A and B are shown apart, each in its own frame.
Chain A
């Protein structure tokens, strides 16, 4: 089945220790998004790619970086995680022709 996959599902890291979250999709969608969602809050867009074009949100901290080496994969790098970065990280995709976004299962990040 075509789908959006995120690995790992749960990630525990230490304060200041770099971490990479991955997202892959078999949908061949042009657009890939990374969101941060904290408890009882709306998903907050960090950045997105339209094909290889990278779009960073103005309020996304420099601590967050992203890479999209090909259509199928997208990575979120957190260079120096702080306690405030503990959250669910959601990857979503959509085609270039439609507006509906489809989410992966998410990665729950814990920072100790």
Chain B
């Protein structure tokens, strides 16, 4: 079983709709969770991180964490064509580990 799993997509969402990206992880002790956006040929860019169960909102982005279900998601409201990218979920196994485990990413396409 992969440590961090994401649906590779592609996920196609109409412009203006809500895009929902999902990630599950295998290590129940994981503490910190990150979402990165990666445009084709570019490096990952940090969008959000979340440590506590529940929702965390930043502009059009909302991260949701459910540690009991070992599930983290990213919602993008009012999707724009510029949101078309690959979204990487990353998990820090435990505090002080200094390392992230990345999923393979979900490719999101926003359709104008």
Known pairs A40-B104, A103-B46 / 11 extra A-B pairs, C-beta < 8 Å:
A40-B8, A40-B105, A43-B102, A45-B100, A48-B99, A55-B98, A99-B34, A99-B49, A99-B92, A100-B46, A102-B46
In the complex, which residues of chain B have a beta carbon less than 8 angstroms from the beta carbon of A106? 42-43
The tally of CB-CB contacts under 8 A between chains A and B is 46
> What is the chain A residue whose CB lies nearest that of B100?
A101
B44 to chain A, nearest CB (A): 5
B32 on the interface (CB 8 Å rule)? yes
> What 6 A-B pairs come out closest when comparing CB atoms?
A42-B102, A103-B43, A106-B43, A42-B104, A99-B32, A103-B44
- C-alpha spacing A15/B46, complex, angstroms: 34
Bits for A73-96, please: 1 = Cβ < 8 Å to B, else 0.
000000000000000101000000
Q: Are B43 and A101 in contact (CB under 8 A)?
A: no
Contact of A45 among B42, B44, B99 (CB under 8 A): B99
Size bracket of the A interface: 20 to 34
Docked CA distance A42–B4 (Å): 10
Query: Within residues 35 to 90 of chain A, which ones have a CB less than 8 A from any CB in chain B?
Result: 40-43, 45, 48, 50, 55, 88, 90
Judge whether B42 and A43 touch: CB under 8 Å. Answer: no
A48 and B98 form a contact (CB under 8 A): yes
Residues of A contacting B4 with CB < 8 Å?
Answer: 42
A104 at the B interface (CB under 8 A): yes
The verdict on A41 contacting B42 (CB below 8 Å), with A48-B99, A100-B34, A100-B49 known, is no
